[in-house]
Amino acid sequence: MKDISLYGHLTVDTILDGESERKTLGSIANVWKALLEIDSTLKIGLSPIDIGEALIYIDKQSAQRYSKASLNLRKNSPKIIQAKINHLVYLNEMSDTEFIVELDGIVAADVCSGKKLNKDILKYVDYLFISDEDVDDFQTLVEATKGWVILHSSTGSIFSNGTEKYSYNIPEEKHLKNVNVLGAGDTFASCFLYKLIGGTGNIQDWIEFAHLKTTEIIRNSI
């Protein structure tokens, strides 16, 4: 039994920042890396379903990123790995979602810019992460999702399960400026899922930890 199993996309990323060019692994790899930075003892299962590539430009001055991706260049059959938490990376772009109904444990998912999300799948999702730049109708997502929808941005989050709704604002002195924001959404989800594994506290505590820990990890990577 793993602590977390990761399903979805694995990409080879070419990253440009105006000064240099480098290649690295992204998508599932971002989540895997962030989880192990938080706790190197975590047992993590990996099931890459779609293999692709992405070209990414980082504008450090504005703390923004811009990208073009071909996420589904090669496909693998899903390999179900028993875990306490199953996290679906880039749910809206996954080529195979039929296996989701077979997952035991908590199901979390995030989305990326690109294809429109099939909201029928959300009835199996306990925690949906979506950034402010990718959301079209927050309330519709809340109504379609089994559990919580977490709409996150660089300054905070709004989160709801249909009956409860909360918000969290990052203290202004902790706002990230002039930094590499690549993988920030993946890191945020990883930090939240880490607290979810522990099972103590409540969702407000987990959101606060996720934002503050993400800020810490990104600052330390500069």
Tens-level pLDDT at each residue, the chain (222 residues)? 999 999 999 988 898 877 788 888 888 999 999 999 999 999 999 999 999 888 878 776 766 777 777 888 889 999 999 999 999 999 999 999 999 999 999 999 999 888 889 999 999 999 999 988 777 789 999 999 999 999 998 889 999 999 999 999 988 776 666 444 556 889 999 999 999 998 888 999 999 999 999 988 877 765
Rounded to 10 deg, the angle between the 184-198 and 203-220 helix axes is 130
Q: Which of 1, 194, 3 is nearest to 82 (CA)?
A: 1
> What's residue 184's pLDDT?
82
User: Which amino acid is residue 31, in one-letter code?
Assistant: V
Give the C-alpha separation, 32 to 55, whole Å: 20
Give this prediction's pTM: 0.88
Kindly list the structural domains of the chain, giving each domain's residue range(s) and its CATH number in brackets, ordered by start.
2-8+28-40+81-220 (3.40.1190.20)
Q: What pairs with residue 47 in β-bridges?
A: 7
- DSSP annotation of 155: T
> What's residue 180's pLDDT?
47
> What's residue 176's pLDDT?
62
Give the C-alpha separation, 65 to 217, whole Å: 17
> What's residue 100's pLDDT?
97
